[in-house]
Structure 1
């Protein structure tokens, strides 16, 4: 398969990389982490991404966007992963934008997509629940119809960037006469009465949110689209695009972590020689390269397959990609920390930040073990 990128795609990634290297240094990241922990929001970088045009990448051309595809998203996510960018690009510019583009009514698209592309609003896709245990269909949040409006009750768990969202796209099951029925998505404003967002720090230092919905009353137009037909399959499409995107982010982080480890091995001396001269450590770094190249190939496959209409094939290949990428995250991260010694876990060194981000990625959209089980089931 030919993985040669077009000139426009290469320019897209190069431009994003220049922005990250110029405006998103490691010290900038540490400052933004501290601000996030204190509940302070600064959208300067977010606006910079909007000015770059990447927030419009997944917005259809007819709605004022660039109409990009999964490969374009992969290239941007890889560049953002290299810089450990904290901005909610995955949550807002990939998941939420795709959900609105595929499920939203004409009025919803007109009111929200241009604002997303311009960086004027942050929309977070809120789907995961504590009891689901990586089963994306196991949604207990309910929506009750009430005289033309909807009343939401439930809880969403560990939703990245929820505290900084202007709008939340909440998945729920519309209650039938006896039991919850069709899955649907609702646009819930941040200030909706009855909704609480409790900040929850993640292992990588970013802040997620526990979302509590207690009799949250919404107008009928809060429902994405005019009906719930095909909502479940559309949600699956959004989540599968997220798997491909997070695999690409991992590859960017893995590349930088390897580069930092190789550079350290060239300069750190023991017994009067650089530790990179020791054959045992060379073997470790060679194994790191192998894991990263496998992860890169599977990231390409995930981006190609994430929109495939053959659902069985798509799920099989996405699970395979998440397994290989997850194994690379764990192996490369652990080897990098070990080769750096005690300083590899200190907050002052970027290696520890890459290591923790890779830990978070391994668990995102289903753990390595979960996807390994799904892959085995698909092959049986």
Structure 2
């Protein structure tokens, strides 16, 4: 595998890093979080101007034709800055559903609006009973001569309370835990019968619990085959996990740098605490975890192009296991090496730990993905 970035990818990396450095300090983040939607609309416009919202989409729909490596670059920079905007929800999750499942007409209508920053999306796939099983869907979609009617409950819909449109997974046939019989439906956020309860997440993002009571959906707003959407959901989940791995690496990098700087400046017993050998060893442990995670995040991004489904799934699960383990290891070390200040709301390190803890749980924790690896026969056969 070639791990070197192209010239265009290096320019993208530099551009995003410069934007985050100029506009997304920890103090700036606090101000953005206090805004009405829980994030900065001006930063969202900046992402659109820089082409980040258009990046993964095909050029024929107003995108730039970027791939998993470009997404990795952007998500790593966003992880370092701890952004609040709905990039993951709109571009990675919902955008992935549109790229893999939508018709030409749907793409031509929706993707340019995403690329220009005019539309924000959410993907409602989790349900109270489903845990990490994306095929565990109770929400029902009933067809009639005028389209479809949706009824059910979705939980932890990232940025669901600020989205303009919501993509909902619903069961059109079969039992609750069957992979076949799941459809994807595009619903307006203000549709009659849809109730949304928004709240802040543990890490400062926004999410919502959504209830659908006989919500009408026209046939034109069905995405793909209404009985066979799970392969699309599964593929998008793989891409989303790779993006989360990159975001985790960005956060780990910043946590390691903040902690190392603290060890170099904090004095105890008349000495910099970084001079104590046992703390130096713990700092090295953090660096090892960071570099292992970086390697696995790159591996996950590159393996998204693998045509062998089993090999691709193995790589994604293995990467997520590493990220989950490193989130705990780096987070624990960073808090302990800071002492009491690491737990304060005024200091950044605790906020990073909260966010990587959320990344740990999103789309499957270490135990879940270790189980998947066991079923798939391990990382290599």
TM-score tier by shorter-chain length is: over 0.9
User: Is 1:276 aligned to residue 267 of structure 2?
Assistant: no
Work out the number of aligned pairs and report it: 377
- How far has the Cα of 1:149 moved from its partner? 0.8
In 2, distance between residues paired with 1:110 and 1:128?
A: 27
Match of 1:191 in 2: 190
Structure 1 contact 74–248 (Cα < 8 Å) conserved = yes
1:22-54 deviation per Cα after TM superposition (whole angstroms, max 9, x unaligned): 111211211222335xx5664111111000101
In 1, distance between residues paired with 2:227 and 2:238?
A: 19
- How far has the Cα of 1:176 moved from its partner? 6.6
Change (3 A) 1:324 1:228: same
Structure 1 contact 338–344 (Cα < 8 Å) conserved = yes
In 2, distance between residues paired with 1:190 and 1:17?
A: 33
In 1, distance between residues paired with 2:135 and 2:38?
A: 34
If the length of structure 1 is used for normalisation, what is the TM-score?
Answer: 0.95
User: Equivalent residue of 1:54, what SS?
Assistant: coil
Structure 2 contact 161–196 (Cα < 8 Å) conserved = yes
Change (3 A) 1:359 1:93: same
- How far has the Cα of 1:81 moved from its partner? 0.6
In 1, distance between residues paired with 2:62 and 2:134?
A: 31
- Which structure 1 residue ranges, 4+ long, deviate > 6 Å from structure 2? 176-180
In 2, distance between residues paired with 1:256 and 1:164?
A: 28
Match of 1:108 in 2: 106
Match of 1:264 in 2: 262
User: Is 1:161 aligned to residue 166 of structure 2?
Assistant: no
In 2, distance between residues paired with 1:368 and 1:194?
A: 37
Match of 1:372 in 2: 370
In 1, distance between residues paired with 2:324 and 2:72?
A: 17
- How far has the Cα of 1:230 moved from its partner? 4.9
- How far has the Cα of 1:155 moved from its partner? 1.0
1:231 to 229, 232, 248: 229
Unpaired runs of 5+ residues, structure 2, are none
In 2, distance between residues paired with 1:28 and 1:41?
A: 10
Structure 1 contact 337–351 (Cα < 8 Å) conserved = yes
Match of 1:18 in 2: 18
In 2, distance between residues paired with 1:41 and 1:111?
A: 26
Structure 1 contact 241–307 (Cα < 8 Å) conserved = no
In 1, distance between residues paired with 2:61 and 2:67?
A: 15
- How far has the Cα of 1:322 moved from its partner? 0.4
In 2, distance between residues paired with 1:172 and 1:309?
A: 28
If the length of structure 2 is used for normalisation, what is the TM-score?
Answer: 0.95
Structure 2 contact 173–227 (Cα < 8 Å) conserved = no
Alignment of 1:1-380 (within 5 A): 1-35=1-35, 42-175=40-173, 182-225=181-224, 227-228=225-226, 230-379=228-377
Change (3 A) 1:177 1:123: closer
Structure 2 contact 327–356 (Cα < 8 Å) conserved = yes
Structure 1 contact 142–154 (Cα < 8 Å) conserved = yes
User: Equivalent residue of 2:161, what SS?
Assistant: helix
Change (3 A) 1:346 1:61: same
Change (3 A) 1:42 1:74: closer
- How far has the Cα of 1:147 moved from its partner? 1.1
